[in-house]
Chain A
Amino acid sequence: MAESIVSLRHVNKYFGENHVLKDINLEIEEGEFLTLLGPSGCGKTTTLRLIAGFEDATDGIIEVQGDRVEDKEAYERDVNTVFQSYALFPHMTVYDNIGYGLKVKKVPKEEIKERVREMLELVQLMGFEGRKPDAMSGGQKQRVAIARALINNPKVLLLDEPLGALDLKLRKQMQIELKRLQQMLNITFVYVTHDQEEAMTMSDRIAVMKDGIIEQLASPREIYNKPATKFVADFIGESNIFSGTVIEINGEEATLETECGCCKMPAEGFAVGDKAHVCIRPETIGFSKEPVDGFTLKGQVKNMIFVGAVFRTLVTMENGYDVKINRVKYDGSYQEGDTLYFYWDVEDSTGIRDQEVTNG
């Protein structure tokens, strides 16, 4: 395992009475692209600001390259930030913006000139030296902001929703470019976003956060395939989640009894009597007109929608829950109002412990 370049240990942060970060432990490895992902108010930006030095942790230890930085000012830390609003200095040209970090460190003019030129080349903005930020598009400003941060050769680059203000197409393009930069320069990126697709595309690892807690820290693939909590299953991609009690364990398979019927899920880690949720993705959930062995969940087809790349069917269960089924195309085997039974490959589903039971 690579060495940790940033460590957060038992970090807590209060804003007044508000406990926004609850005992955060996070080891960020050198050279990785780590994303803090979560809905607004989950504490992801606060975590980033603690590393940058814009906020002080209420308690806990923060280390950058093995050195404790809690008492260091932002300007003494070997990390740089790309801000959501770019925060380019409006009264300076692109050249002065990018060269700012070197200038305040009293680097000789010739060297600044050379480094700024390199940076402009890196972000493909040659010829823009004399422009003021106001005369540039959002995408161009974003590139300047990245160049301005990277010119300082930071150990860690912190990015706070840097693509949030860009339109979809540009955002996709910049995602690829950011990933390219990160791999080329081999700098650790800590990236904050609420956009799960963005996180999936770029990250080596994702920390999914909710209410000041890291719910799961794993690779994008693992987070998608093996969500650790109900929240992660719901937040990342689309999920059908059924909740109930484990009533039988048969080798690798467990049977879960829900209020609307029974279904199967992987048995690993569960015992009879445990409360659990089973998560199955809309593209892997199966359906038929007759019940399949071990499954008695059923519902009525509510509507069928063509949403571009997928054909989606919503099936309403007795308790009102809408089960989502995504297929590449409509197979014509059912109509609105038909009753469908659900089933799935146990391997495709994920069993999640009920949190009230496992917490603590």
Chain B
Amino acid sequence: MDRSGIRGKLPAMVTAGPISIWLIIFVLLPLVYVFVISFMSRGTYGGIDWHFTFENYTMLLQPLYLKIIWKSLKLAFLTTAMCLIMGYPLAYWIAQKPAKSAAKWLLLVMIPYWTNSLVRLYSVNLLGMPNGFVNLFLMKLHIISEPIQFLYTDGMVLMGLLTAMLPFSVLPLYSSIEKMDKSLIEASKDLGANSVTTFRKVTIPQTMGGIVGCILLVFIPSIGMYQVPEVLGGGKVMLVGTLIKNQFLMTKNWPFGASMAILLMFSTIAMLLIYTRVGKLEELEVV
């Protein structure tokens, strides 16, 4: 049968065609545009001056920006670590349940994710206000005499990132733990290993796909997330996401914002590449 003609290509065009066109127009082309303007100069009135330059990238090396990048990485790292520490036990606990009640618990984990993220952020914000619930509660118990300044601190931003990211960490972890052959745990204990050794030598290596999936799903969005530092950090906690937003919307320095966005994107791709080298992509659990 002739597969090279239009008939042979038809299935691919029908199935993958529409989304490809969509992605090319609304993702690939804008990306190319951002990539190109990241090498251009800033126009006098905020526009783009089509002169090739590396300046936008060298500017990133200024201590001010390096500091912001460093802080973003630090917060993203902390968020990821805490998501793993809190998400793993929860995912493990849910994975021990029968399928039906496991689905219920996962639903509970996911519900916050389905509520509007701004509403969620402002409710966290309310909790942390000087006359917010937490402060009032602590004062009523006479643990503190004056309200603590939670808002607009790194800690508050970390709280916000955790709230946003926890659901994403539980799902890949759950799916890898649930899929793991439970007889491996029995075999390990049978051979004389106690629970801690079994967890270290069998459970963790066997759920590595979920752990790495969790890291990728949490770490990457955490670096770039800008609503969280906006709402909970006020203007005081500056992260990469906010910085990029400011370059585009406030300072109108599109080329510089673009260079930072490109840097962020390539570091993400680099992370994925490193992962595909050390681990196997097919073992990656993203639900």
Residues 188-239 (chain B) with a chain A CB within 8 angstroms:
188-194, 197, 201-202, 205-206, 208
Give the CA-CA distance A152 to B190 in the complex, in Å. 10
Is A91 a contact of B186 with CB atoms below 8 Å? no
CB distance from B185 to the nearest CB of A (A): 9
Is A74 a contact of B206 with CB atoms below 8 Å? no
Q: A73-B194, A85-B183 are in contact. Are A91 and B205 (CB under 8 A)?
A: yes
Give the CA-CA distance A89 to B206 in the complex, in Å. 8
| B2 CB–A CB distance under 8 Å | no
Give the CA-CA distance A79 to B190 in the complex, in Å. 8
| B181 CB–A CB distance under 8 Å | yes
Is B189 a contact of A75 with CB atoms below 8 Å? yes
| A54 CB–B CB distance under 8 Å | yes
The residue of chain B having its C-beta at the shortest distance from the C-beta of A91 within the complex is: B205
Is A87 a contact of B189 with CB atoms below 8 Å? no
The residue of chain A having its C-beta at the shortest distance from the C-beta of B202 within the complex is: A89
Contacts of A91 in B (CB 8 A): 205-206, 208
Is A85 a contact of B189 with CB atoms below 8 Å? no
Give the CA-CA distance A89 to B191 in the complex, in Å. 12
Q: Is the interface of B mostly helix, strand, loop or mixed?
A: helix
Partner of A81, one of B181, B187, B193, B201: B187
CB distance from B29 to the nearest CB of A (A): 43
Give the CA-CA distance A334 to B249 in the complex, in Å. 101
Give the CA-CA distance A89 to B197 in the complex, in Å. 14
Contact with B along A69-103 (1 / 0, CB 8 A): 00001110001110101011111000000001100
Is B191 a contact of A87 with CB atoms below 8 Å? no
Q: How large is the interface on B (under 10, 10 to 19, 20 to 34, 35 or more residues)?
A: 10 to 19
Is B194 a contact of A101 with CB atoms below 8 Å? no
Partner of B201, one of A52, A79, A88, A104: A104
| A148 CB–B CB distance under 8 Å | yes
Is A105 a contact of B183 with CB atoms below 8 Å? no
| B184 CB–A CB distance under 8 Å | yes
Is B206 a contact of A152 with CB atoms below 8 Å? no
Contacts of A148 in B (CB 8 A): 187, 191
Partner of A75, one of B181, B190, B201, B208: B190
Partner of A89, one of B187, B190, B194: B187
Give the CA-CA distance A75 to B208 in the complex, in Å. 24
Contacts of A54 in B (CB 8 A): 186, 189-190
The residue of chain B having its C-beta at the shortest distance from the C-beta of A98 within the complex is: B191
Is B191 a contact of A100 with CB atoms below 8 Å? yes
Contacts of B208 in A (CB 8 A): 91
Is A104 a contact of B193 with CB atoms below 8 Å? yes
A-side interface residues, number (CB < 8 Å): 23
Contacts of B205 in A (CB 8 A): 89, 91
Contacts of B192 in A (CB 8 A): 75, 101, 104-105, 152
Contacts of A85 in B (CB 8 A): 181, 183
Give the CA-CA distance A85 to B186 in the complex, in Å. 12
Partner of A83, one of B186, B194, B202: B186
Contacts of B183 in A (CB 8 A): 83, 85, 87
CB distance from A299 to the nearest CB of B (A): 49
Contacts of B181 in A (CB 8 A): 85, 87
Which among B187, B192, B193, B201 has the highest number of chain A CB atoms within 10 Å? B187
Which among B186, B191, B192, B206 has the highest number of chain A CB atoms within 10 Å? B191
Which among A79, A89, A152 has the highest number of chain B CB atoms within 10 Å? A89
Give the CA-CA distance A81 to B205 in the complex, in Å. 22
Is B206 a contact of A83 with CB atoms below 8 Å? no
Is A75 a contact of B193 with CB atoms below 8 Å? yes
Contacts of B188 in A (CB 8 A): 89, 100, 104
The residue of chain A having its C-beta at the shortest distance from the C-beta of B180 within the complex is: A90
CB distance from B206 to the nearest CB of A (A): 7
Contact with B along A30-71 (1 / 0, CB 8 A): 000000000000000000000011100000000000000000
CB distance from B92 to the nearest CB of A (A): 18
Give the CA-CA distance A53 to B194 in the complex, in Å. 13
CB distance from B179 to the nearest CB of A (A): 12
Q: A75-B192, A104-B192 are in contact. Are A87 and B197 (CB under 8 A)?
A: no
Residues 126-165 (chain A) with a chain B CB within 8 angstroms:
148-149, 152
The residue of chain B having its C-beta at the shortest distance from the C-beta of A79 within the complex is: B190
Is A81 a contact of B206 with CB atoms below 8 Å? no
Contacts of A100 in B (CB 8 A): 188, 191, 193, 201
Is B186 a contact of A81 with CB atoms below 8 Å? yes
Is B186 a contact of A101 with CB atoms below 8 Å? no
Contacts of A79 in B (CB 8 A): 190
Contacts of B189 in A (CB 8 A): 53-54, 73-75
Give the CA-CA distance A149 to B181 in the complex, in Å. 18
Contact with B along A152-189 (1 / 0, CB 8 A): 10000000000000000000000000000000000000
8 closest Cβ contacts across the A-B interface? A101-B191, A87-B187, A87-B183, A74-B189, A104-B193, A91-B205, A75-B189, A81-B190
- B-side interface residues toward A, CB under 8 Å? 181, 183-184, 186-194, 197, 201-202, 205-206, 208
Known: A89-B188, A89-B202, A149-B191. 13 other contacts (CB 8 A): A52-B190, A75-B189, A75-B193, A80-B190, A83-B187, A87-B186, A88-B187, A89-B205, A100-B188, A100-B201, A104-B191, A104-B201, A105-B192
| A–B complex contacts, Cβ < 8 Å, 26 sampled | A52-B186, A52-B190, A53-B189, A54-B186, A73-B189, A74-B186, A74-B189, A75-B189, A75-B193, A79-B190, A83-B187, A85-B181, A85-B183, A87-B184, A88-B187, A89-B187, A89-B202, A89-B206, A91-B205, A91-B208, A100-B188, A100-B193, A104-B192, A148-B187, A148-B191, A149-B191
